[in-house]
Amino acid sequence: METALVQQNNIPALSIGAFTATPVGLIVSDEDVPFEVWEAYGKALHRVEGAIQWVRGDWLNEGERRYGEKYPQAIQEEWHAEYETLRKYREVAQRIKIGSRLPNLSWAHHLEVAWLEPEEQDCFLALAEENEWTRAQLRNEIRGWKRHEKAGAPSGDLADGILVGSIAEVGDQVPTGSVDLILTDPPYGEDAIHLYGELSQLAARVLKPGALCLVYSGQVFLPRVIEQLGMHLDYAWAFAARHSGGNRRIYKMNVNNGWKPVLAYVKPPLEPWWDSFIDITTGGREKDLHDWQQPEAEAAYFIEHLSLPEGLILDPFAGSGTTLAAAKALGRRHLGIEVDSDSVSIASDRIRQVHDPTEARQ
């Protein structure tokens, strides 16, 4: 279809093929327009209708890019009355690049996320699309997340929450000698082995003397994981977490793997104050929130046996917040670190829904 800007009685109009849209209506100049063309035009109108703020915002940004100073002056003169509205269109279009805009969501949804960081925008837009949130629901979710993020930063006194960033970046915000138990599940790949060393260093500083650091590990790189964890902590024990979702064939060893180690390290001295309990556990299979999600019942098992009510539980590789949710449900204080912002919002939503049994007492 040919597109042209035309003048109808001195009024500017937009012409596409036989269709001319004017400020007062549509003129169809050809009696023989095929049905398909008529239909395609209607569909195009429908899509553009909800996108007019984008189109105008992009048009303004394009004007600025091409014509520089001439552009704001023209806008001021021509559209003085709606200058603020146009400025908003322009800024939203500038802040959310065309490739990140989701056609199933309204421009107003995008306005809600426009002043977040690009990766946060992507995360909230994807969640809004997936969960079919209205604009108001999206706004509430963002507010809740911001409140939670602020509450998560420990400031002198201990606070519950999640620190957003890698342990190397934000680990130093965890107060020294404050943590009663670390229960964590770092990534397993060979390129992640150094993280066990970073964990060992962090744990040696933040754990109380005698407190444990429990670490899920795969079997493949176990000697190197042990070496890294032992750099700043003492080895205490190896627990077994039995897979509940069936065994996994390991071709390299020709075995059906049915368990994984949960290594226990201690910040000396080791003084087992807890009641004895069996060193094998198993939870259900839970993978709906994170690809590497661990069962909450397993976390609860360790937390219940190895920490006291109101103790502080730290998970420096929090993922979907399994350890933190289990800790909160057991009336422990909890603190997480997580580098991936998608996981952070999943974890904070999850934790917010957990009832804290100590709340009634506060």
Ligand X SMILES: C[S@@+](CC[C@H](N)C(=O)[O-])C[C@H]1O[C@@H](n2cnc3c(N)ncnc32)[C@H](O)[C@@H]1O
Position 294 contacts ligand X (CB under 6 A): yes
User: Beta 312-315 vs 333-338: how paired, if at all?
Assistant: parallel
Output phi, psi for 36, to 5 deg.
Answer: -60, -40
User: Beta 255-257 vs 248-250: how paired, if at all?
Assistant: antiparallel
| CB closer to ligand X out of 15 and 293 | 293
Exposed (0-12), middle (13-18) or buried (19+): which is 344, by Cβ within 10 Å?
buried
Exposed (0-12), middle (13-18) or buried (19+): which is 94, by Cβ within 10 Å?
middle
- Binds ligand X (CB under 6 A): choice among 15, 217, 281, 293: 293
Pair 175, 154: CB distance under 8 Å? yes
| CB closer to ligand X out of 20 and 173 | 173
| Binding segment (CB under 6 A) for ligand X, from list 7-15, 134-142, 152-160, 292-300 | 292-300
Q: How far is the CB of 225 from ligand X (least distance, A)?
A: 13
Residue with the CB atom nearest ligand X in the bound state? 319
Pair 161, 153: CB distance under 8 Å? yes
Pair 292, 185: CB distance under 8 Å? yes
Position 195 contacts ligand X (CB under 6 A): yes
Pair 281, 299: CB distance under 8 Å? no
Q: How far is the CB of 187 from ligand X (least distance, A)?
A: 5
Position 320 contacts ligand X (CB under 6 A): yes
> What residues from 147 to 166 belong to the interface with ligand X (CB under 6 A)?
166
Q: How far is the CB of 320 from ligand X (least distance, A)?
A: 3
Position 185 contacts ligand X (CB under 6 A): yes
CA distance 169 to 153: 13
- Binds ligand X (CB under 6 A): choice among 319, 327, 333, 348: 319
| Binding segment (CB under 6 A) for ligand X, from list 71-79, 203-211, 236-244, 315-323 | 315-323
Nearest to residue 184, comparing CAs of 194, 195, 168? 195
How many other C-beta atoms can be found within 10 angstroms of the C-beta atom of residue 124? 24
| Binding segment (CB under 6 A) for ligand X, from list 17-25, 221-229, 233-241, 286-294 | 286-294
Site map for ligand X, 323-362, x if CB under 6 A? Answer: --------------xxxx--x-------------------
| CB closer to ligand X out of 63 and 218 | 218
Position 262 contacts ligand X (CB under 6 A): no
| Binding segment (CB under 6 A) for ligand X, from list 30-38, 75-83, 93-101, 311-319 | 311-319
Distance between first and last Cα of the chain? 69
Could you please report the per-residue DSSP string of 277-345? --SEE------SS-TTPPPHHHHHHHHHHHS-TT-EEEETT-TTTHHHHHHHHTT-EEEEEES-HHHHH
Position 292 contacts ligand X (CB under 6 A): yes
Q: Tell me which residues touch ligand X (CB under 6 A).
A: 166-167, 185-187, 195, 290, 292-294, 316-317, 319-320, 322, 337-340, 343
